[in-house]
Structure 1
């Protein structure tokens, strides 16, 4: 049982690193898209404020919440595997 908890802890730490990497990458991609949109439309005014508004909208978006599947899918698969091995 102790080995299982150690596995889950190591998996959780690894998934946290993956989550942070994917989250930062996704946010940077969104920032680049906002910069491109600013240049393509030829907008005037404060570019930094435009990008901040876009990133705030992104933080509330469904796409941002989908990144949480990085935790849910592997842990769910592990729980299913433990159940199948032990109880079927």
Structure 2
């Protein structure tokens, strides 16, 4: 039982690191896209506000929520393997 808890803790720590990295990468890609859009369209006004609004929209987007699959998919796969090995 102790080994299972230790494995679970290590898995959650690893998945949290992966989630953080993917989340930061995705957010930076969005920021770069907003900066590029600003320069391509030749917009006027406050560039910083434009980027902040775009990132606020990103925070509520489906893409941001899909990153949570980093947790869901591996844990579901492990649970499925445990179930198949023990009960079939």
By the TM > 0.5 criterion, same fold?
yes
- Mark the runs of 5 or more structure 2 residues left unpaired by the alignment: none
- Mark the runs of 5 or more structure 1 residues left unpaired by the alignment: none
Q: Distance in 2 between matches of 1:78 and 1:45?
A: 51
Q: Distance in 1 between matches of 2:87 and 2:9?
A: 23
For 1:29-68, what aligned pairs fall within 5 Å after superposition? 29-68=29-68
TM-score (norm 1): 0.98
For 1:1-88, what aligned pairs fall within 5 Å after superposition? 1-88=1-88
* Moved segments of 4+, more than 3 Å: none
Secondary structure of 1:71's aligned partner: helix
- Give 1:54 deviation, angstroms: 0.0
Q: Distance in 1 between matches of 2:14 and 2:83?
A: 22
Q: Distance in 2 between matches of 1:42 and 1:2?
A: 60
1:16-57: CA deviations, max 9, x gaps?
A: 000000000000000000000000000000000000000000
Question: Number of residues paired by the alignment?
Answer: 88
Q: CA RMSD in A?
A: 0.5
